[in-house]
Amino acid sequence: MALYQILEFPDARLRTVAKPVEEVNDDVRHIIDNMFETMYHAKGIGLAATQVNIHQRIIVMDVSEDKDQPYVLINPQYTPIDSDTEMMQEGCLSVPEYYADVKRHLRVNLKALDRDGNPYEMEADGLLAHCIQHEVDHLDGKLFVDYLSTMKRNRVRKLMEKRQRELVRQA
């Protein structure tokens, strides 16, 4: 397995809308395995293929404390179960070291394919529901900073650009 490079905001490739996976095969499973390795290495709880410059509708996530409940979501679709929402602090591997409160649906119904291409459906709430919505946004070219005011989003952009300049200087 290999670690992928995670794209960071404001990289324009993060705005690419991912295409549906046509066939779940060994190539897709290889991507999934590398995505899990990348996510766990980066200490994340979710990773969308868009974040590693692969523009297919693939998500991996594991919101468990012990990192022993991995989920694979291929071609995911969700619908809110009701209109209840909650604010939760979100972070993102593509926006390192920045957190903000984002309002999302409290409960969602998810339909997706697993790593073998089998369809499944589940209800999710709390952190798992937030993570599903956050990662599906990535597949649609949207970031959690898009939910912030223009002023806050511009401040985050400047912080990330400064961070990237400092990383280049250190290299």
Q: Please give the positions annotated as active site.
A: 135
φ/ψ of 117, rounded to 5, equals 85, 10
- Whether residue 21 contacts residue 38, with contact meaning beta carbons closer than 8 Å, is answered with no
List, in sequence order, every beta strand (DSSP E) within the chain. 46-48, 58-61, 71-80, 85-92, 95-105, 107-113, 119-125
Is 131 annotated for ligand binding?
Answer: no
- Whether residue 115 contacts residue 41, with contact meaning beta carbons closer than 8 Å, is answered with no
Radius of gyration, CA atoms only, the chain: 16
d(CA 84, CA 100): 20
- Put residue 64 in one of left, alpha, beta given phi > 0 → left and psi -120 to 50 → alpha: beta
d(CA 96, CA 160): 8
Binding-site residues for Fe cation, in ranges, read 92, 134, 138
